[in-house]
Structure 1
Amino acid sequence: MASVDECRQALLDLAARLDANAETRGRLDLDRTLACRIPDLDAAFHGRLADGRLVDITDGDDPRAKIALVANSDDLIAVVAGRLDVTRAVATRQVTIKANPFDLLKLRKLL
């Protein structure tokens, strides 16, 4: 099991990668609050997806977040590191993404 600090760093790494790729991908019309819940650590983080970037990442849950990602610590780190394919992780329910269908379609562009 990974630590809370390792999960926080994985999210910061993901934010940096999304930021670097935002210019080459073009503008993504998506501005939503995001919660990342890690049940095996009883921890959560929240932030905002804006124009293809993940910004304002802080500790704690946001129960009103428009997009919620739920994953155990090791699965979260594996997805961010690229060792676990996000599509496969969602299909096998290692990772759950709760969002409206239109947001899910837009999220695919980020992945």
Structure 2
Amino acid sequence: MTSVEDCRAAIGKVSDRILQTDEADRRKHLVERSVSVTVRDLDTVFDMRLTANGLEDVTSRALGSAGPKAQVGITVSADDLVDLAEDRLDFAKAMFSGRVKLDASFGDLMRLRKLL
């Protein structure tokens, strides 16, 4: 079973992948946003900031506890989060099949698709 620590490591891998993107592309397509990743099966929410320097200030809290309202919200299972980070699951396919729920503005979706 995937743990909270595994999910935190997966978020770190996604951050590393963002940093592997050309810096000019990151600055062009990335606008700083607050992000929350809700991991349903672990009753955990990870709050963070998406910046040109990757995912920063990652914290976790129990699902249902008060937290900041994120500009981009992602809901996913722990296993799917790890699979996304490991490139074993395509984000778009996971989103359209209902395995990943994304709550973001249309503009944010267009910018994020360039990086994901």
Relative to the length of structure 2, the TM-score reads: 0.87
Residue 64 (1) aligns with residue 69 (2): yes
Q: State how many pairs are aligned.
A: 111
Query: In the alignment, what sits opposite 2:107?
Result: 102
Structure 2: stretches of 5+ with no match in the other structure: none
Large movers: runs of 4+ above 4 Å: none
Distance 2:18 2:91 in 1: 15
Residues 30, 112 of structure 2: 8 Å contact kept? no
Aligned residue for 1:81?
86
The CA deviation at 1:26 is: 4.2
2-side partners of 1:95 and 1:23: how far apart?
A: 27
Q: Which residue of 2 aligns with 1:48?
A: 49
What is the rounded CA distance, in whole Å, between the counterparts of 2:53 and 2:104 in structure 1? 16
Residue identity in the other structure for 2:89: L
Q: How do 1:2-21 residues align onto structure 2 when only pairs under 5 Å count? A: 2-21=2-21
- 3-state SS of paired residue (1:83): coil
Cα distance in 1 for residues equivalent to 2:75 and 2:22: 24
Distance (whole Å) between structure 2 residues aligned to residue 35 and residue 22 of structure 1: 25
Instruction: Provide the TM-score with structure 1 as the length reference.
Output: 0.90
CA-based RMSD of the aligned residues comes to 1.7
1:21-40 mapped onto 2 (5 Å cutoff) = 21-23=21-23, 25-27=25-27, 28-40=29-41
2:59 alignment partner, SS class: strand
Gap change, CA 1:14 and 1:103, over 3 Å in 2: same
Where 1:110 maps in the other structure, the secondary structure is: coil
Q: List runs of 5+ in structure 1 lacking aligned partners.
A: none
